Amino acid sequence: MKKIIAVAIASMGISGYVHAAGFVNGGFEDGNTTGWDVYSSAYRAGVNNAGLTPAYVKANDNSGMRSAVIGAGYVDPHLGAALGSTVYGGSYGYRVEDTTWGGYASLIEQSVTNYTDPNIFFAWKAVMLGAHGTSDAATMKITLTDNTTNSVVISREYNAASSGGGVDPRFSLSGGNYYTAAWQIEQLTIDSSLSGHDFTLSVLAADCQPTGHWGYVYLDGFGAAPPQPGVPEPASLALAGLALAGVAASRRRKSA
């Protein structure tokens, strides 16, 4: 049994590398933001959506922490069951910005270098209280940037303009909130033209510019393998599988 346990522990490191090479705590399964660059919040009153960028939040990050790691039992305070799960897989996820109004913007980022795995995946949901126009409504901006070529390879930008003009069919409307009931799974295929490049994922969420309406984003599953809903991390699966194999082998020896 000692040998089985030793092999299982060793396989956890191997499995973690195979399934999440280049990413640190991409699913927040350590219960913290280790590996991520977290910016607490910037006051955005007077700043329209066009000027609301990761660079702006970094330069004005002085308004206190409003984002948080959340557990799988966390229920969205505005939509409850209508929004569904707030953690896509495993035990933890992350909420960018808080769930109240106030005119703030928050940001989280992670970069990977010399990336050679075949894919990059991540999952997100958004909630934005509708009001105002497209230039000053609550907003979200998600970008995956190829730093090697200085180009944006995935871009998702939506806002909660009262006309509905800032969202697309993936959003529903309830109680004035524009929200994505289904998790949005993003994928970038790393072909020969992208292999070995450096990438940065940035997720920004903000209340409206006049400060009276909330906007926030749930994030999970940043890694090399597709995020699996409600499934333990690959390393945990490997450990469980080896433990079962060990039990089976032990039973066969006893039978013999």
Half-sphere exposure of 101 (CA within 13 A, CB side): 14
Question: Mean pLDDT of all residues in the chain?
Answer: 87
What contacts 70, CB < 8 A, 6 or more positions away? 86, 87, 92, 93, 94, 95, 218
Q: Which of 215, 186, 214, 191 is nearest to 201 (CA)?
A: 186
- Quote the CA–CA distance of 77 and 60 in Å, as a whole number: 28
pLDDT over 80 (residue 40) = yes
Q: Which residue has the tokens 């009001």?
A: 131
Position with higher pLDDT, 187 vs 7? 187
231 — pLDDT class (breaks 50, 70, 90): low
Per-residue pLDDT band for 131 (boundaries 50, 70, 90) equals very high
- In order of start, what are the domains of the chain with their CATH numbers? 1-21+231-251 (no CATH), 24-223 (2.60.120.260)
- What's the whole-number mean pLDDT along residues 165-174? 98
pLDDT band at 14 (very low <50, low <70, confident <90, very high): very low
Query: Is the CB of residue 129 less than 8 Å from the CB of residue 101?
Result: yes
Strand blocks (E) in the chain: 37-43, 68-71, 92-96, 104-115, 119-129, 139-146, 151-159, 172-174, 177-179, 184-189, 197-206, 215-223
